[in-house]
Amino acid sequence: MDHFTYRDRVLHCEDVPVPEIAEKYGTPVFVYSSATLLHHLASVQQAFASADPIVAYSIKTNGNLSICKLMAEHGSGFDVTSGGELYRALKSGGTGTKIVYAGVGKTDAEMRDGLENGVFLFNVESEEELYALGAVAQSMGKKAPVALRVNPDLPPKTHAKTDTSVKGVKFGLDIEGVLEVSAKAVGHPGLAIVGLHMHLGSPILSADPYRAGAAKAVALIKEFRKQGHDIQYLNMGGGFGIHYRKQEALPASAFAEAILPAVREVGCKLVLEPGRFIVGNAGVLVSRVLFNKDTGGKHYLIQDAAMNDLIRPTLYDSFHRVWPVAPKAGVPERPEDYEAEIPGTVKQDVVGPVCESGDFLAKGRNLPPLVRGDLLAVFSAGAYGMAMSSNYNSRLRAAEVLVTARTHRLIRRRETFRDLVACEEDC
Segment 345-361 mean pLDDT: 97
112 is in an annotated binding site: no
- Give the other-Cβ count within 10 Å of 74's Cβ: 14
29 φ/ψ angles, rounded to the nearest 5 degrees? -145, 135
13-29: pLDDT as tens digits:
999 999 999 999 999 99
118 belongs to an annotated ligand binding site: no
Q: Look at 319 and 167; give whichever has higher pLDDT.
A: 319
* Phi, psi of 116, deg, nearest 5: -65, -30
pLDDT of residue 167: 64
**225 known member of a binding site:** no
Q: What is the mean pLDDT of residues 384-406?
A: 98
- Percentage with pLDDT > 70 across the chain: 97
Q: With a cut of 60, say whether residue 161 has pLDDT above it.
A: no
Is 177 within any annotated ligand binding site? no
The DSSP code for 12 is E
- At residue 159, the pLDDT reads 57
Position 170 pLDDT exceeds 90: no
Give yes or no for residue 163 having a pLDDT over 70.
no
Q: Which of 142, 130, 387, 155 is nearest to 275 (CA)?
A: 387
All structural domains of the chain: 4-32+281-425 (2.40.37.10), 34-279 (3.20.20.10)
d(CA 225, CA 234): 13
Q: Is the pLDDT of residue 158 over 70?
A: no
Instruction: Reply yes or no on whether the pLDDT at 134 is more than 70.
Output: yes
According to the annotation, is 392 in a ligand binding site?
Answer: no
Q: Report yes or no: 79 and 102 within 8 Å, Cβ to Cβ.
A: yes
pLDDT of residue 164: 59
Task: Please give the pLDDT value at position 21.
Answer: 98
Please check the confidence at residue 220 and state whether its pLDDT lies above 70. Answer: yes
Mean pLDDT of 130-151: 97
The model's pTM is 0.96
Residue 404 — pLDDT band, cuts 50, 70, 90? very high
Mean pLDDT in residue range 349-363: 97
* Per-residue pLDDT band at 1 (split at 50, 70, 90): confident
Return the pLDDT at 168. Answer: 72
- Does 128 show up as a binding residue in the annotation? no
Annotated binding residue 276: yes
Q: Determine the pLDDT at residue 150.
A: 95
Residue 143 CA to residue 191 CA, distance in Å, equals 5
Confidence of residue 323 (pLDDT cuts 50, 70, 90): very high
| Cα gap 94→51, rounded to integer Å | 21
Distance CA(300)–CA(352), nearest Å, equals 10
**Cis peptide bond N-terminal to 251, omega within 30:** no
Round to whole Å and give the CA distance between 400 and 409: 9
Confirm whether residue 356 is marked as ligand binding: yes
Do 400 and 411 form a contact (C-beta atoms < 8 A)? yes
The residues annotated as belonging to the active site are 355
Are the beta carbons of 250 and 207 closer than 8 angstroms?
Answer: yes
pLDDT of residue 172: 86
**pLDDT tens digits along 42-60:** 999 999 999 999 999 999 9
Q: State the CB neighbour count (10 A cutoff) for residue 205.
A: 17
pLDDT at 262 over 60: yes
Q: Is 273 annotated as a binding residue?
A: yes
Lowest mean pLDDT among 112-116, 175-179, 297-301: 175-179
Q: In 51-126, which residue ranges form alpha helices assigned H by DSSP?
A: 65-73, 83-91, 108-116
> In the prediction, which pLDDT does 156 show?
53
- Kindly report the average pLDDT of the chain as a whole number: 95
**DSSP output for 147-212:** EEEEE--PPP-S-TTT--SSTTSSSSEETTTHHHHHHHTTT-TTEEEEEEE----S-B--SHHHHH
